[in-house]
Structure 1
Amino acid sequence: MKKQKCESLEQARGHIDEIDQALIEMIAVRQFYVDQATRFKRTAEDVQSPERVQQVINKVREKANELHTDPDLVEKIYREMIQHFIQRELKEIRP
């Protein structure tokens, strides 16, 4: 996504609204693939996989640093999202 200087508050808010829409769409796609992955998991340990969680956190923190954004914020958002998806997956494994 290309960044551009805004000439008004309305223009900045318009870009923020577009980004919010794209973020929600991407979260929906991520959820779809998490649901797909759940089909291949058999146990709660498979779902919770602390090693995989840490891999994801390390990767997103690194990307945040590359893009000059706050890695702590990115980690916090990802930990919350991952925890939500873990709870969703556990409901599928333990009906």
Structure 2
Amino acid sequence: MELHDMAAHCQTLDEVREHIDQLDRQIVGLIAQRGRYVSQAARFKKDSHAVKSPQRVEQVFAKVRALADELGANPHVTEQVYRAMIAAFIQQELAEHSALS
């Protein structure tokens, strides 16, 4: 079963919003968890180029586009969300990496 098949069929806009609110809570929890791993990664990187890691970033974008296709998400939207998220995490990691130096 694909992820988009798992969405409840809502009868009202309030129902839609309730489901979106529940998903937002899960998504923010996952962002927090991802951020904790990003914080740990700063310890293992030698310099700001390693933090930015353009080759790794492009691998992540390719991976999430493929996951989007597999899971029934819009690949363009998924990539744009990840571009914004990774840019913010890079800034966080740069600050953390700098504090370790």
Question: TM (normalized to structure 1)?
Answer: 0.91
TM-superposed CA distance for 1:39, in Å, is 1.2
Equivalent AA in structure 1 for residue 91 of structure 2: Q
Matches within 5 A, 1:5-44: 5-44=9-48
How many residues align? The count is: 95
Q: Which runs of 5+ in 2 are unaligned?
A: none
1:61 aligns with 2:65: yes
Report the counterpart of residue 82 of structure 1 in structure 2: 86
Q: Distance in 2 between matches of 1:16 and 1:84?
A: 23
| Structure with higher helix content | 2
| 1:12-56, Cα deviation, whole Å (9 max, x unpaired) | 111111001111111011001100111111201110111110111
**What fraction of aligned residue pairs are identical, expressed as a percent?**
44
Q: Distance in 1 between matches of 2:96 and 2:14?
A: 43
Question: TM (normalized to structure 2)?
Answer: 0.86
| 1:43-93, Cα deviation, whole Å (9 max, x unpaired) | 011101111101110010001111222111111110111111111111122
Tell me the C-alpha RMSD between the 2 structures: 1.4
- Runs of 4+ aligned residues of structure 1 deviating over 4 Å after TM superposition are none
Report the counterpart of residue 52 of structure 2 in structure 1: 48
Larger relative contact order (Cα-Cα within 8 Å, sequence gap ≥ 6): 2
Per the alignment, in what secondary structure is the counterpart of residue 94 of structure 1? helix
